[in-house]
Each structure stands twice: as structure tokens, then as C-alpha cells.
Chains A and B, each alone.
Chain A
Amino acid sequence: MGEAPEISRLLAPIALSFAVLAGVILGTYLVRRPALTGAVKVWLFFGIGVLPICAALTGNIGGYETSKSRAFCASCHTMTSYTADAADRESASLASFHSRNQRFGNESCFVCHQDYGLFGSVTTKLTGLRHLWVYQTRYAGGRQVKPGEIELYRPFPNGNCTQCHSTTLPGFSDEPEHGAVAEDLKSGAVSCATEGCHGPAHPSPPGAS
């Protein structure tokens, strides 16, 4: 897998250290089976309570940050043509163009495809679980993707574009094409990433018509 985010690389040894320390305490307790003296209770408090909680906290933060990285998306072979294009500095695709922006960088898949809003991170991660289920049931074992087989579960929301691109500044409203489809853009009937507008976001996967 490619390079993990900096915070994940920083937290990984910390999380593992907490886990190893807790493991040593618990392993010793399980093997030696000492009497429950005050000192043993204190050790167990650290082995079952304090250290695992610290390990879980650091592990969760590191895992969450890892799951946002483009390298993580690329760990499923069905995504590699998309992620390779996004990482290609010579590509003229919308995905590559945005990935060269520091705001997106190595998290460009997540920044563009996440749900925004109050529970956006939660719903995005739930969708990630669905991705994993679909991958394991259809593509595990390296089965190749048929052309046109992969598609979004729902149309790409224009709100994800307008998180950054204002629709009220003159640069947007001065474009007559924007004015012509203003209502459709608002309702989502027309996507910003439609071919002929600003899309397609990704080049067609190999073999697609």
C-alpha cells in the first residue's frame, strides 16, 4: 500500500506501544494467575482500562485518517485505474486536476466523495462498509471489472463541488451556461461533472466504451 498519512504514521507506534504494554500486563496475569491483591488490581486497571483506552483512541484516529487517504482507496484493485489517474500529474482529468490542489492532495477521493453535513463522516463511513461488502462479494480474488460496471450509488451531489466553488460570485453567475441550468444545478438534475460541462471527473476505465 502507498504512503500512510503523516498523523497515522505518527500515531501507529504510540498505539502499538499502548497495546504491547497492556498485552504484557494481561499476559502475565493470565499465565501467573496471582491473588487479587491491591497491586494486582492496580495493574489490571492499567491493563484492561487505561492502556487499551489509550490504544483505542490513538488507533481510531490513525485508522480514520488512513481510511481517508487515496492509497487506502487504491488498496482495492477495482479502484486503481481511478487512483492512478488522480495521482498522475500529467493527466488533464478533473480528478487529477483537483488532486494537485493542496486542499485535496492525498485525500482527494475522500474530499470529493464524502458526504457533507452534520453526520457526513458517519454516513461516508457507512457507505464505505457497503463498498467493502460489494467488493468482497463481487470482486475479491482479483476479478476484473467489466466496462461500465462500476458506478456511483447515487448521482454525484453538486453540493460537494459548491463546498469550495461559490455559486454566488461573478465568476459563476457571469457564465450563461450556469444561468441556463441554474435550477437543475440546484436540484441536482444536472451534475457539474456531466460530460460537456466540467466532466467526466475520471477517464473511462480500461475497456469501457
Chain B
Amino acid sequence: MSFKDVLMPFTAWKYLVKEPVNIQKPDEVQGAPRYRGFHKNQVDVCIGCGTCEEICQNAAIDMMPVDGIETKDGDSGLRPLIDYGRCCWCALCVDICTTNSLTLSNSFKWNGTDGDDFRFIPGVDKKYWDDDNLGYVKADGLNLNPVERVEMGELHPVDRDKSFVEMITGYSKEQAQKEADRCVECGLCTATCPAHMGIPEYIKAVREDDMEEGLRILYETNPLPEICGRICTHKCETVCSINHKGDPLSIRWLKRYIADQVPADKYKEILGTDKIQGNGKKVAIIGAGPAGLSAAHYLALMGYSVKIYETLKGPGGMVRYGIPEYRMPYDQIDKDIDYILSLGVEVQYNTRVGEDIQLEDLEKDYDAVFSATGLHLGRSTGVSGADNERVYQSIELLRKVTDGEEIDVAEKIVVIGGGNVAMDITRTLARLQNQKYGKVNVLATCLESEEAMPADDEEVIEAREEKAVIDPGWGPQEIEIKDGKITGLHVTKCLAIFDEEGKFNPKFDTDQKKFFEADMIVESIGQGMDIKYTDKIKDKLEFGPRGRIAVGKNFQSKLPWFFVGGDIIEGPDVIHGIANGHKAAIGIDNFLKDK
């Protein structure tokens, strides 16, 4: 120790003349631009998926209903309520938010006497920091859940343009598990799916590689998983919360993956349907389409003796006769249907109710009847020349292809229509042309513009890959016929399809015209229903808009024994049919239980 050590500490006196470092006005202190302060939520962007609630390790977040926010497809109607007595400001909720609507402000000051005020719904309960521009937001490049979809393999256009082999190859186990991993289990898909399938649950089964559990979950709500796994309109994917940040989950392909993994002969054992106790009651079903088969499946499980009456040669309805084999292979349709039939469901083919057998007979012989006859009538454009023999309806051609009948495919074909069925027939005809002539010359046109075409984007892209020409935005005016033979289709530019009142009333620009050369024309502008078989009970039924039979809860018509569902009530699509069939089965059971 030295004399220096005695004097040195006195240098501290210099701080007397230094400016103090105290914060004079703490109220004016602001957090840094990335400060993790109180939450902000854009309530109109938020979809209430609850992922923030899921990741919060402190259970500080509760999803709560909010006045003025309705539950709808893709929005649970709930918004996060945050308990700041529990929140630890870790901001994981911000990082995981599927819509990026949840952020943190850079405000941290709070004065209050009521502890309950410290729980509120950001964005709904107005706070002084709601307009703060600064605060923590998720940085670009930070992803706590992968947002890119695992690509589904498909045949190259060169390999598929002549063939009806299924073009989608399906996921491998590794791919399926990787895709299933992306799910945040928000359940918006379940709420939107017409059949309310347990989607997060079966995706979990894929993740855990438990195919048996996956199959059990599928069959709780959907007895046609192979079919739905291929051609469902997947409304679930449209509302998938990951859709807001990246690609939605491939829910449809994952469903197909589960069904593909389990061999048909294991179904009964896994699903526990080896022995079903009959209850002695009989139900007739009209139409072996998805709705009829779905109802038959659930009724059979409940012990009813079920018989289906089908007009065509085989079961499946529109799935078999309206969808080409390259999208929906017949052996996979059979896998689903054979299982349903193995439960004791009988089918009488080539029998049209109303002609070969009357509805009154069914009423007499059975305890209840479920009718799901579908939309099997084609609609015509009605333009001049549409009555020519070389003008076809897409439905009728697709049915012939399924039945293996020869089609006289022309060298130049025009398809009128822009929906998925129009794309189906376009691509089918392209394949047949390729087989017959070695080249493709098929053109599809429709009133709608490219953006407004009702067909799925992938259908349009794939059709073009297969060398079909899609030229949308034209209205057919006249089919030109010379010497009884079609030479082509005159079209004019379509400016608008609906008028100001929203009614179908297309407007054309007559200055812009085109002529599509063709030897054969196919109309594919929608389908209609044929319910003539109900003529005799018509007076006892009620009808809703567009001639549809009015049904109550569980698809029961005004006549208690007569249930109606499927495309003639809702849809048209497979999953609505399946959901209708399931509900109708419950309705029939309720109706017959007390009888």
C-alpha cells in the first residue's frame, strides 16, 4: 500500500461537476424500435387460429369470442386475450402467428388500480399504444414452422399425355411426415370441412406413423378416403391457417397417404367391423354415389339392412362416371366401395327408380328411403347448331369412357365450359386424340376470364401441359355447320357474365370475334338433376330455390320416411355428398329408433 492509494480515491470528486445521468422525465422514455412491450393485434387480419395460445408456455393467452366478429370459414371468430399477470414477453406468440397479425408495441408503461384491467384483448380493447409503429415484429427469415409445401410427385406431361394411368404419384413416408409436421392443429379445417373430419388428428397420426389410428379417424366421418384423398375439393386447404404465411397443408394428399398405406383386407380388423349386430330394420337408398354409399356405410354400422338401387352398371356415381381415370383410378374407387359392400350393403344395378321400380314400392318395402340421385343431366348452350349429332354433353362422353365404349374422337375439338368437368373432358379427349392421331387439337373456351375460371388452377395448368389450348373469355354465338357437318364455333368477346343485379346476363363485345375450327363440339357448362321419380309424392313435398327438394335437419324431407341428400341438395362435390349421407344416416336412425 502506498501514499498513492490514499489520495487516488479522491479523484471521485470530479463526478461532482459532471452532468448527472438520471432520467429526468421517465414518462417520456420510449422503448427501442424492437422493444417487446404490450401486444398489438390487427383483429381484421387475425383468424383466431389459436396458435399463439398453443405456444404460450405460461398459459397467458386465452382465445375469446368478440362482439362483432362472426365465426366463418377460415376464422374461428375468437381473438387472443392476454393476461399480463402471466405473460413473460417472450414474443413466441408473435413468431408463430400464422397471419403475422400479432406484434408487440414498444410501450411498456402501465398505471392501474384494478388487476382485472391487466387482462385484455389487444386490438379490441383500445389502448394508447395501438397506433405505435415501433415494437417487436417477426424478422424476415425467422420461421418456427415450415411454410413451404412438400412437392407432390406427378408424371411428366410426356409420360401422361397418352395414358390414363394415375398422374399423381403420392407421398413417400418421409415426405408425408415432413408435410404433416407443418400442421399447427388450429382446427379451422375441421370447422370448414362439410364432413367435419378430424383433420389435425389424422395428420398427427401421419406424423406418428400410426396408420391404423389414422384410418380409424378417417372412417369416423368419411367412408371414402381413397376417393376423397384424390379428388376432394379440399375446402380445408383453402382455410388452412398456414395459407396466410405460405402454402397450405396438403391435407388431401395426407388423407390419401393414410388410406394408401393400409391394405383393404386389414380394414375390418382395424375398424372393428368384423361383426355387426343387425337391428332388423330396412333402408333403401337411391343412387350408389358418394352420398348414397356414405349413408349406406353408417346405416350398415348401426345395424340396418341397406339396399342401394343404382341406374348404372357400377357403383360410385359421378366419381366413377364423371372423373377420368388418370385422376381417380377405378381400383381405388373399388377399394373404398368394396369395403362398404363387405359390411352387408346390397346394390341392385341397372335399376332406375321411377322406371324399373317405383318409389311407392320402396316406401312399402322399407322403413325409410334415402335418395341421392345426383346431377346427371347435361346442360346445353342452346346456340344455333347445338342440336347437331356431333355436339356432345361432357357427362355423356365421360360415362362412355368409363364404360369402355368407343368414342369417335374428331381431329379438331372445341369444349365449351371452364369448370373442372370441362377440364376433365378436355384432358380426356386430348389423351384419346393423342392415342388415335398422335397429336392434340382440343380447345376449351368459356365465358369467364382466365382469373375467374371456376376450374382449379392446377387443372388448367396441367391441361396446357398436355397441349390442350385454353382460351377463356369468349361467349359461343353459333356453331357453323356445312353440309350437316360442324366446321367450327363462332365466339365473341365476353365483357361481363352477370348484370348489376347479379343475374346471369352475359355482355358481349360484338366487335371482337373469333372462329374456332372444330369437327366436334362438347358442351360442359353445368349439370342438372332429374327427380321425375318423385312426381307421385310431389304434392306432399316442399321445394326450395332452383327446384331443390326442401329438407330439414338431417336431410329429412316433409315426408318423414323420405330423406334426400347429395348433389341434388348441396354441392356439387364429393365431400358434401359424404357429409349429407352421414347426417342422413343419423337422421334415419333417429327417425326409426322409436318406431
Q: Are the chains A and B members of one assembly? A: no
Write the residues of chain A forming the contact surface with B, with a CB cutoff of 8 angstroms: none
